[in-house]
Structure 1
Amino acid sequence: MSQALPLVAYPDLEGRVKAMEEDGYAYLPKVIEDEQLAELRDAMDRLTAIPESFDRHGTPENGNGFLNKHINNAFNRDPVFLRCLDRSPVIELAEAVHGEDCHVIGMTAWVTGPGRPDQGLHIDWLPIPLPTDILEDTRVKVPIFISTAHYYLDDLYEDLGPTKFVPGSHLSGRRPDGETEWKGASEKSILCNSGDVVIFRSEVWHRGTANRSDQTRYLLQVHYAKRMITQKFPPYLNQFQFNAEILEQATERQQRLMGNHRPGAYD
């Protein structure tokens, strides 16, 4: 039987940073209000796939078997997504764990329909593979290089296909490679409300699960990183271009998050 992941809303930034370091994730309730949720879902519905940007838009009609719409660089497509680059309190936590010069390395709008199958447990990136006994040494503290903020735009329940985490697995120092538990902890479901955000570090073992409902699930992913981590804005080789209308609306902080940094080492 599935179990829910403990979601503790720490009231201060210090508690949220500690959660990222010790639990591997932090929970931020009601980041988006109801009217903004509808606006984001409508904007996702309007997005069209750009194959050169590695976008996907599979449907039962074109042989995919289920709706799977995955759009990269969403911040560059509509101002409603631009505003999610630095939404509070997510951005304050991202800057606290990655540094005040952090940036966004990607943003994906992901819409999945009934019939979407289970994913396997995986990590997004393992920056420093280490033996467990070293990671358990209190003198060792691996920096958080990359994190992903999941903006959940629906009330999550088991049949809708919630994300599952293995708590504490970011301290394993390795990929799951077929394992389903870490130190006796099995995977647990993120059962949160629409408008909530869960932000997690790239080493956490996690997976998406099957959509067994008759409802479409909407998820916005914002990927933050230390400045020295390369931004992932396909297509590459100078083919990606910032939308001039988006840049005109962007604040100074939003422009920095998109890459307009002060000159530094290696510039």
Structure 2
Amino acid sequence: MYEVLDELGVRADLLAPQQLSELDELGYCRFDDFLTAPQITAALDTIESLAPGGGTLRLTDLLEAGPVFDPLWLRPNLLAAVRHLLGPEFRISAMTYRAGRPDHVQVDPSERVGPIRWRVCTAIVALVDFTADNGATRVVPGSHLDYGFVPPLGHEDHPDQALLLGQAGTAWLFNSHVWHSGTVNRSASARHAVLTGFGRRCGTSGFDPQPSESTIERLGSAAYLLV
């Protein structure tokens, strides 16, 4: 795995000291200008061709859609942040698209684990602006370190919560053991995002379903992160 990450250009010095301290202390860090405008447009166009109707639109197996979604995860700085949290032996567990419709909310429970044994983390990439009104993800910074943490009931606010707000093309990597949830989309438009889950190899089952031969061929050595 070390060789694969080296080949992909993953180095610790790609992360600013502030990002490293935020990952450790807050449980998440931010990447501004992670995607370009053409990359955002290409991802949204592909999603539109694949997505059904519904409340919270959800698509899986995005890696099988071709190279359009590769820039959303196959980035040395993002993978360096994943390695900082999980160590060098990690794999992708899922890559999904979600679009919270107006008046809809998605809640994801956080799993409590022992100190410094983080098992999973998630990258979320904004394909539209994340605002205080359109259902942006909320986190409680430092809750992964607080083993007496009491989560809010239902959709109630927590006094220490922070919203992940930013322009389209912004990305965040957060420790999935930080308490987090969606918020109610009170805008008139859907909030489009792609989430990539990463997990330690020990005790995880790998990417499911298994990647196709064409995906493995396209990704080359990076395909090792899927299996």
Task: Name the TM tier (shorter chain).
Answer: 0.7 to 0.9
The structure whose residues are more often helix, as a share, is 2
Q: Does 1:73 align with 2:47?
A: no
| Deviation (angstroms), 1:242 | 2.2
| Deviation (angstroms), 1:152 | 1.0
SS in 2 for 1:16: helix
| Deviation (angstroms), 1:147 | 0.7
Structure 1 residues 120 and 72, CA gap change in structure 2 (3 angstroms)? closer
2:109 corresponds to which of 88, 108, 122: 122
Where does structure 1 differ by over 6 angstroms across 4 or more consecutive aligned residues? none
Give CA-to-partner distance per residue, 1:41-94, whole Å, 9 cap, x none.
Answer: 11222225xxxxxxxx552xxxxxxx3211222212332123433223211211
Q: Which runs of 5+ in 1 are unaligned?
A: 1-9, 49-56, 60-66, 129-140, 235-239, 260-267
2:135 corresponds to which of 155, 158, 161: 161
Q: Does 1:216 align with 2:193?
A: no
Q: How many equivalent pairs are there?
A: 213
Q: Which runs of 5+ in 2 are unaligned?
A: 1-12
Work out whether residues 164 and 207 of structure 1, in 8 Å CA contact, stay in contact via their aligned partners in 2: yes
Match of 1:151 in 2: 125
Match of 1:28 in 2: 31
Which letter maps to 1:42? Answer: D
1:246 corresponds to which of 202, 208, 215: 215
**Cα distance in 2 for residues equivalent to 1:157 and 1:30:** 16
Match of 1:106 in 2: 94
Which letter maps to 1:251? Answer: G
1:255 corresponds to which of 199, 223, 226: 223
**Cα distance in 1 for residues equivalent to 2:176 and 2:62:** 20
Structure 1 residues 69 and 43, CA gap change in structure 2 (3 angstroms)? same
Give TM-score scaled by structure 1 length: 0.71
Structure number with bigger Rg = 1
Match of 2:5 in 1: none
Give TM-score scaled by structure 2 length: 0.82
